[in-house]
Structure 1
Amino acid sequence: MNRLHIEVARRRTFAIISHPDAGKTTLTEKLLLFGGAIREAGSVKGRKTDKHAASDWMEIEKQRGISVTSSVLEFTYHGYHVNILDTPGHQDFSEDTYRTLAAADSAVMLIDCAKGVEAQTIKLFEVCAKRRIPIFTFINKMDRQGKDPFDLLEEIESVLGMRSYPMNWPIGMGSEFCGIYNRHRFRLERFERQKDTQRLNVNGPDDPQIREEVGDLLTDRLSEEIALLDIAGEPYDIERIENGELTPVFFGSAITNFGVEAFLEDFLELAPPPSPRKSDQGLIEPIQTAFSGFVFKIQANMNPAHRDRVAFLRVCSGKFERGMSVRNVRTGKTLKLAQPQQFMAQDRSIVEEAYAGDIIGLFDPGQFRVGDTLCEKGSYQLERLPKFPPEHFAKITNKNAMRYKQYQKGLEQLVEEGAIQKYRTFLSRTGRNHHRRCRRTTIPSV
């Protein structure tokens, strides 16, 4: 295998999706912690210590304790090159999440054990299901009282229509929670607050070591539940996992670090490397030598002091090198990419090379649009990003006629970033022209 094949094979690019407050950003922080990208995990609402989550870099995110915009974070772990797309959970920012999912090869679906499958989780799951990407489920907050694990699995099947296979199984819950049993590795992972996780290799759920650690009552219950899963549960099928038909389920508690490292190890082994991408000229393989990629997000003012504007590009094939010339298929222009950047949320560093699966940032003076295809050779258009109907509508007018140009420029920038969709009435001058071209009216709102 040449270096291109090796580098592509070790890439893992995934998005984390969930309903608000399920613990998504906390899980992201702990993955970064175990990956060595940060030395100390911040808190989503770390106002007292002023230690905030690394992925929440905007001031409003720090103040309100929520994710407002998607963050790109990367690290290496056990030979894998990991790219995490931490997405907003709140529906007000769902359009950003929908576009970002197009850049992911798999998704981690986070579920609160007390609340189960919630409304926003359903919407994001449907977007992933349409693309048939593998979905891995992490059921969080097992150190708190919640729904019965079997009820949670039934909810995943009945609400989402997806079968599940538990990779591990909780021993107790809430105040009784004392660990998880790893079904594949035959391992007991002991949970004790304020202590590091203890891992014990066992011969099965009836192993005397488990009985000694957690007691007779919980051991007997574990044996019965594992036997039920083995008999009546779904069989392990890697092909169905890769096709997005079966979701591996992991239990843990992100806030206490428990179960996160075990999840990361299994996830990186099971998650797919970069997959082929559709184009108007057929499939584009990630291992082909010619570079190609598409812009899935544009973010302005990442550095307010410079009023900069960054286009986020997902590399789809080949090797990217700093300073290379590429063709923007939409405009037909040849561009030289002189200052590509890689990210740790707001922090960035100049990157010399990148491979299929990586996310890089390009300085954008206004020449990129969301959905643009860049390619080194040829002139093909990668599959267009999905466009979703607006969930909120507002009618806006310019109250200051002297600032009409600024008003229009601001609107256009928001449209280019994909933050809004603009509609005009046919009564305005531009609207009448638009009406003559399309022979139909549009919704009179923005």
Structure 2
Amino acid sequence: MLHLAGLKREAGEVDEGTTSTDYLSVERLHGITVKSAAVRFQWGGAFVHLIDTPGHVDFGNEVDRALRILDGAVIALCAVSGVQARTEVIAKACATRKLPRLYFVNKMDRAGADFFGIAEELRANLEPNAVALQFPLYEGQRWTGIVDLLKMEVFYLGRDQLNQDQKASGIPMIASGLSEIQRAELRDARADFIEKLAENDEEILSYYATDREAPQALLTKATAKALREGRLVPLFCGSAFIDLSIRLLLDAVENLLPSPSEALIPEGIDPKTEEKKYLLPSTAAPTAAFVFKTLKDSTGELYAWTRIWTGTLGVGHKLHDARSGKDILVKRLFGIQADSLIELNEAGPGEIVAIKAADIEPGASLCDPRAPILFEALDIPEPVLSQVFEPATLRDLPALRSALEALALEDLSLKLREEKETGRFEVAGQGELHLEILAERLKREFGLMVRRGNPKVQLKERLLKGARVLENFDRDLGGERVRVSVEVSVRSKRNRPGVELLQNPGLRTQPQYLAAAKRGAAAALAVGPSQGYPLEGAELTLISLSPPASQTGKNGETALEAATALATRRALLEAGSEILEPVMRIDIDCPDEHFGPVLNSISSRGGRIESVEESPGSKSIVAQAPMSRLFGFASELRSMSKGRAQFQARFAGYDATRAFS
């Protein structure tokens, strides 16, 4: 894309590590994307901000954050392997956020490419409103061209079909030289598209019902409107190595995906009144922007990647962060071009910029202090795997601490805990690859060699039953006799993450006493009753609370905090708990000849087969297995299939360890 837009002399290749957005040395070494990258370019009459995100599930938080600030998405599929497990996650996330999206079926030049099969699979399982806007042409098994079903123009691969504006210019179907059989197939495909468009568009329906051809401009406008409203999900085809197909894709991005003036701005709330606020993009409106990512450069300077929704943002502007309550001074402002920054004085709605400012946090809701708005907080996934990192020498400890903190600031799905006595760090993340890439980045970007312990899964506990406890607290505190009582109940709430703390609706007491009781409950709920792991799916209710009879000041609050902690702990012990471990959904595509050994390997690791689907020459396996049994599975799978099987695992939830024994 950057090459066609005139920003690069030659097109980059992922396999060769020459793409602009995969600029980290570790990305070029492994041939994968591990962090989001932003670029900006002009295409036709549109100024495009492109966010390139990772495809591997271990770096899924990068995708989730990017989806928060996009106007539209292009989801790339492989024409051979089709819809993958990660595709399903991304598509559902886009649908949840009502994000307009189109699909680009890539690698059409590969043997086994099946555009029509992928279109059918998408419609059947993921995108019921999916419809092809392009039709691939073949001579035998060779892909030879693309038909634009919107304009009914034919584009032949290898021909120079550019107009004076360097836009792709097709041959009208009537002059294309296609056979009558091919023309009939194209008319049927276009009829499917027009019929889908007419379902909720009266103007298009009037043309369709009377068998008239709608004007081209009207069709394009109606298609873009249906895409914005989620009534249509277009499919395009091509290859990253065929410039013509990428030109047509960029034309679709320009003509069909919404511009910032057309896209929906996420709703926010007024932090003072908690009323919902809906914004419209305008340079004249008060400034509202969202920080979706922060990172530090090699000098330790902090930069915040920010999407501007309304108003203008410039150097020297003073903004308010409605989430933290801090005031932020914009010291410098930059456009982002992969690993380079372009100095700006000012930017407006639709822009994605890097702000240099002190003490700014990811998830910040930046706004005019006179018009505060709070956008939805970032959703950070819980870590499922941890590993001990320690420096090669004690001299490296300060540098390792600084490097880990910088990388954890950039990647919020990493969690750090330093053991002050030993100089070691417990690092928790999303999977084996996540932590391997972290160690590689420490080596390549910071020059730090680390020793790593064995990976450990993050265990949790779930209550076995409910319990109710009354705690009468009678102690001397600071020379004063303090008597309080607290009654609590606990119960298990399956299929709910974390811990929920509630209170009896009829409970009435002074605010400071209630706050003290909640602190005590929260402290006790931090560890499970069996082995001290965090609780999962637990609910605690404060039923009754009897404060001290006399004014005892802080001693009364201390007593209530201690009493509630004791009551909660007793209730947890009475309820009992079972140990939970992370369970992964694994999706494997393997050749038929390796199907048996792959199934045996999954079973030997405590896996449960959920489904097996057949396609010519291969099988697709979906299974669930405990994460603790999957260490080394990727290497084993490569070995037994001679590198031909594909594997991806993603977190599915927690389950009792006995379920897989």
TM-score range, shorter-chain basis?
Answer: 0.7 to 0.9
In 2, Cα distance between equivalents of 1:82 and 1:405: 41
Shift of 1:167: 1.7
Which residue number corresponds to residue 430 of structure 1? none
* Counterparts of 2:139 and 2:295, CA distance in 1: 42
- Match of 1:299? 295
* 268, 278, 296: which one aligns with 2:267: 278
Closer, same or farther: CA 208–336 of 1 in aligned 2, 3 Å: closer
Report the count of equivalent residues.
391
Letter in structure 1 aligned against 2:6: G
Residue from 129, 134, 151 that aligns with 1:163: 129
CA distance in 2, matches of 1:394, 1:278: 36
Query: Matches of 1:389 and 1:334 in 2, distance apart?
Result: 28
Paired position in structure 2 for 1:348 = 341
Paired with 2:44 and 2:365, the residues of 1 have a C-alpha distance of 32
C-alpha separation in 1, matches of 2:349 and 2:259: 9
TM-score, L = length of structure 1: 0.78
2:83 to 113, 117, 122: 117
Matched, 1:322 2:322: no
Contact 1:312 1:362 in 2 (8 A): yes
* 1: CA distance, partners of 2:161 / 2:320: 51
Asked if the contact 2:150/2:190 (under 8 Å) is kept, the reply is no
Whole-Å separation in 1 of the counterparts to 2:170 and 2:321? 54
Report the residue type matching 1:354 in the other structure: A
Two-structure CA RMSD over aligned residues (Å): 3.2
Distance 2:376 2:154 in 1: 46
Cα 1:223–1:337 shift into 2, 3 Å: same
Instruction: Name the larger-Rg structure.
Output: 2
Matches within 5 A, 1:80-229: 80-172=46-138, 176-192=142-158, 196-197=160-161, 201-204=170-173, 207-211=174-178, 219-229=179-189
- CA–CA separation in structure 2 for the residues paired with 1:409 and 1:435: 34
For residues 330-345 of structure 1, the aligned pairs below 5 Å read: 330-345=323-338
DSSP-derived class of the 1:360 partner: strand
Structure with larger RCO (C-alpha < 8 A, sep 6+): 1
2:11 maps to 1:41: yes
> 2-side partners of 1:200 and 1:420: how far apart?
45
Partner residue of 2:227 out of 225, 241, 254: 241
The counterpart of 1:256, out of the listed 238, 242, 249, is 242
Match of 2:575 in 1: none
More strand by percentage: 2
Which residue is 2:522 aligned to? 437
CA contact 2:323–2:374 (8 Å) conserved in 1: no
> Secondary structure of 1:116's partner?
coil
SS in 2 for 1:37: coil
Structure 2 distance, partners of 1:225, 1:438, is 67
Calculate percent identity across the aligned residue pairs.
Answer: 24
Q: Any gaps of 5 or more consecutive residues in structure 1?
A: 1-30, 212-218, 426-432
Q: Secondary structure at the match of 1:53?
A: coil
Alpha-carbon deviation of 1:413? 4.9
Change (3 A) 1:253 1:386: same
Pick one of 397, 413, 419 that aligns with 1:420.
Answer: 413
Post-superposition Cα deviations, 1:327-367, rounded to whole Å, max 9, x if no partner, equal 122333332212111111001111112111111112254x1
Deviations 1:185-225 (A, max 9, x none): 23111102xx5446665443xx25333xxxxxxx3443232
Q: Distance in 2 between matches of 1:415 and 1:437?
A: 26
Choose the corresponding residue for 2:365, options 368, 373, 378. 373
Residue 74 of structure 1 aligns to a residue in which SS? strand
Q: Are the structure 2 counterparts of residues 397 and 144 from structure 1 closer, same or farther at C-alpha, using a change threshold of 3 Å?
A: closer
Summarize the Cα distance change of 1:296–1:438 in structure 2 as closer, same or farther, 3 Å threshold.
farther
Asked whether the equivalents of residues 119 and 130 of structure 2 are also in contact (C-alpha less than 8 Å), the reply is yes
